[in-house]
Each structure stands twice: as C-alpha cells, then as structure tokens.
Chains A and B, each alone.
Chain A
C-alpha cells in the first residue's frame, strides 16, 4: 500500500492540534478565574477565596504543563510537515507567531513561576499581579493564534510575488474578515469551558459535602457565567456563520448538507451525506429554517456544495455532523444555565440533588463542543491550507515520505497516550484530594483575624456547612 504523506501529515496535524486545543481553552478560562479569586481575596481578605485559588492553581499547573509541551510540538509541525506552506506564508505567519511568543508566552511562562511558587516570596499585591499577568498572557496568546488561523480562512492584505506571499497591509491581514467573529467565539468558549469545569467539580463536592462553603461560592459564580455566556455564544456563533457564508460559502453548504444552490432550504436535523452521489440520504429537517437562519427570509437562496468541483469539496459528512454536535451541546448549555437559574430562584441551587449529579457530566461538554467546532471549521476549509490560495498538496514538505510521516504520527500518538493518561490521572487525584485548608505551617497572610472555617479534610469526612455572614455572592 502506498503511504500518502499528505493524508498522514493532515492526520498528524489534526491529532496534535486537537490534543493541544483542549488545554488552552481550559487554561484561558481558568487563568482568568484564578485572577478573579486572587483579586477577591486581596480585596476582602476572606480566606475562602484563597482556598479556592490554591486548589485551582494546582489543577492549572498540571494542565498548563501539558498544554505547554503539546504547544511546542505544534510550532515545529509547520516546518517539519508543511515546509512549503511555511516558506510561502512566512512573511505573514512568521511575524505573527513571533509576536505571540514575545507578547504572550514569556508573560505566561515567567509569571507562572511567581504564581505557583512565589506566594510567600513576594508581597500579596505582586502575587495578584502575577495572576493577572498569567491570565492576560493566555488571552493575548489566543489573540495572535486566532489572527493566524482566521487569516488562513479569510486571507486578506497579501499578494503573491514569485510564489511567495508578501504583506500589502498589516492592518487588513491581522484584522481579516473572519477574525473578530472567531476571536469572540473562542474567547467565550474558553470562559464557558472554565465555568463548566469549575461548576461540575463544585457541584460534585457539594454532593459529597466537601468544603461546602467555598464550593457554594464557586458554583454560584459559574452558574451566573453560564447563564449569560451560553446564549451569548449562540448569538456570536450565528454572526460567525453569516461571515462564513460570505467568505467560505462551500463550508456553510457542507454544514447545512445543501448540495445545490436553492431557496427554501430546510434545517436538516438528520441526514447521511453521500459525497459520491452528491446528495443526502434519509433527510429529516425543518422546512425553510436554514434559509431563514442564514438569510433571514424563508425563500432565501443558500449556496450548494456541488457548485465547486468534487476535488475542491470538503468531506461533507464530517463537517455536517461535527457542526450538529457543536450546536447540540450549545443548546444543552443554555438549558443548563436556565436550570441553574430556576433552582436559584427556588432557593435550591445548593441543595444536593439531580442538578448536582448532572453537572459533573457536563464537564466534558465544552471540550467536545470546542473540538467539534474546530473540526467543522478546519475540515470545512479542505482542500485549502490558505483558502483559495494554497492547497494541502502545494503546502506539504517535498522531502517528506509516507513512512516518515507514519513513523512520527505513531510516535506522537504513543507519547501522548502515556503522558496524557498520566496527566488525566493526576488531575483526577487532585480532584479526589479536594480543596484543603491552609497548608501546614503556613501563616495566615490576611490582615483579618482567622475565622472559623468549615473543617475540610479529605473527601468522605463531610464537614458541616458554616456560612460566613455577608459573604454570599
């Protein structure tokens, strides 16, 4: 069998990127949450915030470590497997990725040391500052990465000269047409991810009666976030979709499973796209709804996949189904936000029950949604590396042979399997150990007298809830 270096490189990149992507979305959200906790502790002196912060910093450290190493792998993939693409696009992507390193990576990495190890070595205000810098760094990093990614979808401000792209306008290239939507979509996705993880873990602790006081605070904060952000994300996603319709109509056609350009397009709930036959089997849909969503009119014309030659079509099935998965999870998130609001109004948000048993399962949902979203947008761009300009086959490394790509792919899968299994296990162990009281021997750094805390030992030793007056958010 002939090994195809292009296909194997695509699988390899998809694997590495998918694995990497789940860490930043979590760490961006969590870094901001930690900064907020540190800020609240600094302002109020209430040790509950410090306890929460200490716990989540530990989780952050483990996930950040895994995110860093998988990120280093990614930055080298461009050169190893897509050297022609690197060469062609270096005039734009090189400076953008370098800006990410100097404005974001150093900020995160250097201040992370102070955040993790410096609590007793620097003044409290400086420690808070470090927490804010780490959060800011993760955020700036996502800015540059989405500049680079958006530009590959909607290239602007560049022109080809002798087979190499030259930048004509930096402003147009950086703030390319899809950038604002993508950036907003990912930023909100990150905050939702952080919220769902913290909410799920807090709900689980409440169920176990572990550290009830602090976990109530955490759950409450997260449910407010989810209530606001989940619907907002749907609106942003809708705008993003309209932008894609304008610049990448074939992708939208694949998302809708619409083969021919036509009006009165139904919103398909279920279908089996058949690329060979260029049609769907077993369609179930709501009449006119896709036309209405995309053009705000029931007979609005929606572009069709078959408008471009078969070899320029993305794999429709993957795009169609990953899009449905993302939207489905998004709707579920909105429902969960409303459920939380209902319980809060009824005064039962903290009462262990069905809601608290359900929330831990929701921890996986933002990660699955993010990956599904990435698959929709990235697979939907196929066969283009840079939309309409550079294809996969033009971008691949010329000297790369199939077996080299296969060997390194197997290698990465093996390494990641070991490392991330272990990482998952250690996070699980941290969760089980739970939130601890001040570490032994540590002085209370707050100016306030020590309050009686709920006695939180390891999980299992349930502690009575001891709410501190006036602290409820």
Chain B
C-alpha cells in the first residue's frame, strides 16, 4: 500500500522550503532597506523583486492550505498556539505587501513612510517566522489533539533568538540576491555587507546548535545517537558558508546567492532531521496528524499534475525578468 503520509510529508516540506527560499530573499530586501546607500538603490532593490514577490508569497498560502488538507492537526494546534504571533506575522506581511504598490504611487513626501512600512513589515514577518521555528523546536502543550497552553508560550528567549537568526538569514539571502541583480553602487554595498551578515548567521547557527540539544532531549538523542550521517547536514551548511565567503571575495555575482540557498537547504534539512517524525512535538507524529487517506489521495492527484506546471511557469517568469535591474528602469 502506498504511504500517502510520507508522500505528503515530502510535498509539504518541499512547499515550505520553496516559501523560505523564495519569499526569503524578497523579505531580505525589505530587512536591508534602511541600510541601503540611497533612494535609487531602494528603488532598484524593490524593482528587482516586484515582478515575482507575489508568486513567492503564494507558497506560504500553499503551505497553510496544504497543511489543512494533509495534516490538519498541525494547522489546528500550531495556529491557536501561535495566535498572537500569527497576527503579528500577518500584519507585517500586509504592510510590506501593499508597500510594493503604494511606494511608487506616493508622492516624494510620503515615499519614506512606505519604505519604512516595507522595511518594518518585512523584518517583523521574518522575526515572526523565526519564532515559529523556535516554537516548533520547543514543542506544544496539547491534550486530546487540542492546544491547551497559554497565549504567550511561544515567547521565550530561545524563540526570540531563532527569530533573530531567521532575520539575519533572510537578510543574507537579500544581500546575495542584490549582488546578483544590481550593479554599481548598490552592488558594491551588497558585497560589503554580505560577509558581515554571513558572520552573524554563523554566530547564531553556532549558538542554536548548542542551545537546541539543551532545550530538547529528543533532539540531543537524535544528534548524539547512532545515526552518524546526520552530521553531513551541518557540514554541508558550513561548506556553503565557506563558498559564499570565497565567492564574495572573488566577486562572483551568481554563486553567493546560490550558495546561500544551499546554506538554507542544509539547515532546513537538519531541522527536519532533528524532529522527524514529529510534526506537533512532543506528542504527535506525522501519522497522528494526517487527514483521511481518501482526502490525501484526492489532493495528491491534482497536486502531482499541477505542480510541474506551476514550477515551469514560475521558472519562465524568472527567465523573463533575468538580468540586472537598472536605475530608473520604470515601474509600469
């Protein structure tokens, strides 16, 4: 019998990964906004993601809807558990989302507000997502498949730290994207800040690596248990970090971004490996959280058919908008 639960675990993991990588770099652009050298740079940076951010963010909606369809327990425990955090995340996404249109429609006297809205919204959304990751590592208080904890269980020093980690990580994606998509002064600036961001990300990475096993004995057993190849994942992440550093020094344009994607990929897989097969830790596994078999199958038929098309036309738009974005290259 086909294990639909496992197939769906892979699909959802893939969807969330796509979201993190793709919305990650455009959120990163927003996080870096206040530090950009000048207004032209900000225009160029925003224009470099304007045609694609909407599609990027759709992966978040797919993650949400997919969870409801395949693992409803995750949806019905995590969202109530993170209630206030989810509000903050959504408020952040609202402010940054509308900034794309409003910033270019506003007169010079109001443009600054929408730049701030874009920057703060992006940072807050990234922070909130990092907190979600931390809260997931921490686990949730449940009883009979229902969340029973308090409104602020998710807010701890550990989760704030993972939040900070994701903000820095997204900023790194943003800076390496900027290296790839811009030229001149903006690119120079992105080259300068990338090593600093990389150092920050590695610092957080290190601290979390020591902190997590202390927070959670399950994770400790996983990492210091008998599966040695799990250590390949952090090794891969460190290898990518070294590659980013080298590529920036050699002033490569594309490799820093691709290597940052790799860094994220290995870290993400490491996180999944730490908790597998628990999706609502510490109580429930993938199999506890799964929806009915016939529902998983019904959705699978469509998704397997449609997702290749989605990926194809998404790739095509990235191709259409390839190349450097230039100053003054007009918005519609």
Using a CB–CB distance below 8 Å, which chain A residues touch chain B?
A: 54, 57-58, 61-62, 65-66, 68-73, 75-76, 78-80, 83-84, 86-87, 90-95, 97-103, 105-107, 109-114, 116-119, 121-122, 164, 166-167, 170, 397-401, 404, 407-408, 411-412, 415, 419, 422-423, 426, 429-430, 439
Q: Within the complex, what minimum Cβ distance (angstroms) separates B279 from chain A?
A: 14
- Ordered nearest first, which 4 A-B pairs have the shortest CB separation? A94-B69, A79-B79, A90-B72, A113-B51
Task: Give every chain A residue within 8 A of B148 (Cβ-Cβ).
Answer: 398-399
Residues in B neighbouring A404, C-beta threshold 8 A? 83-84, 151
B73 close to A73 (CB less than 8 A) = no
Is the CB of B76 closer than 8 A to any CB of chain A? Answer: yes
Interface contact A90-B75, CB-CB below 8 Å: yes
CB-nearest residue of chain A to B51: A113
Which residues of the other chain, B, contact A119 by a CB distance below 8 angstroms? 332
Interface string of B66-95 (1 = CB under 8 A from A): 111110110111111101101100110111
A62 touches B105 (CB 8 A): yes
A interface footprint on B289-332 (CB within 8 Å = 1, 0 otherwise): 00110110011001100110010011001001100000000111
A167 in complex: contacting residue of B101, B298, B314, CB < 8 Å: B298
Q: Which residues of chain A come closer than 8 Å to B78, judged between CB atoms?
A: 79
Q: Whose C-beta in chain B lies nearest to the C-beta of A414?
A: B91
- Could you say which residues of chain A place their CB within 8 Å of the CB of B51? 113-114, 116-118
Interface centre among A68, A78, A166 (most CB of B within 10 A): A68
- CB neighbours (8 Å) of A69 from chain B are 93-94, 97-98
B54 engages A72 (CB within 8 Å): no
Chain B interfacial positions (CB closer than 8 Å to A): 50-52, 54-55, 57-58, 60-62, 64-70, 72-73, 75-81, 83-84, 86-87, 90-91, 93-95, 97-98, 100-102, 105-106, 145-149, 151, 291-292, 294-295, 298-299, 302-303, 306-307, 310, 313-314, 317, 320-321, 330-332
Q: In whole angstroms, what is the CA distance A435 to B158 when docked?
A: 54
Chain A: minimal CB distance from B97 (Å) = 4
With contacts A65-B98, A86-B75 known, is A118 near B303, CB below 8 A?
no
Closest approach, in angstroms, between the C-beta of A80 and any C-beta of chain B? 5
Instruction: Tell me which residues across on chain A come within 8 A of B70, comparing CB atoms.
Output: 94
Closest to B100 in A: A65
Contact of A79 among B57, B76, B292, B306 (CB under 8 A): B76
Asked whether A65 and B314 contact (CB < 8 A) given A76-B86, A117-B50, A412-B87, the answer is no
Q: What would be 28 A-B contacts, judged by CB atoms less than 8 Å apart? A: A65-B101, A69-B93, A69-B94, A72-B57, A79-B78, A79-B79, A79-B86, A83-B76, A83-B80, A86-B68, A86-B72, A86-B75, A91-B291, A94-B299, A98-B66, A105-B58, A110-B54, A110-B314, A119-B332, A121-B320, A398-B146, A398-B148, A408-B87, A415-B94, A415-B95, A419-B98, A423-B102, A426-B105
Q: Let me know if A109 and B65 touch, CB within 8 A.
A: no
Q: A residues within 8 A CB of B291? A: 90-91, 94
Rounded to whole angstroms, the CA-CA distance of A90 and B55 in the bound complex is 25
Chain B residues, Cβ within 8 Å of A76 = 64, 79, 86, 90
CA distance A87 to B284 in the complex (A): 15
Query: Does the CB pair B320–A95 fall under 8 Å?
Result: no
Q: How far apart are the CA atoms of A121 and B291 in the complex, in Å?
A: 44
The CA-CA distance from A90 to B68 in the complex, in Å, is 6
Q: How far is the CA of A233 from the CA of B332 in the complex (A)?
A: 35
How near does chain A come to B131, taking the closest CB pair, in angstroms?
A: 15
Q: Across the interface, which residues of B come within 8 angstroms of A429, CB to CB?
A: 105
The residue from A72, A86, A412 contacting B61, defined by CB atoms under 8 A apart: A72
- Judging by beta carbons under 8 Å apart, are A408 and B330 in contact? no
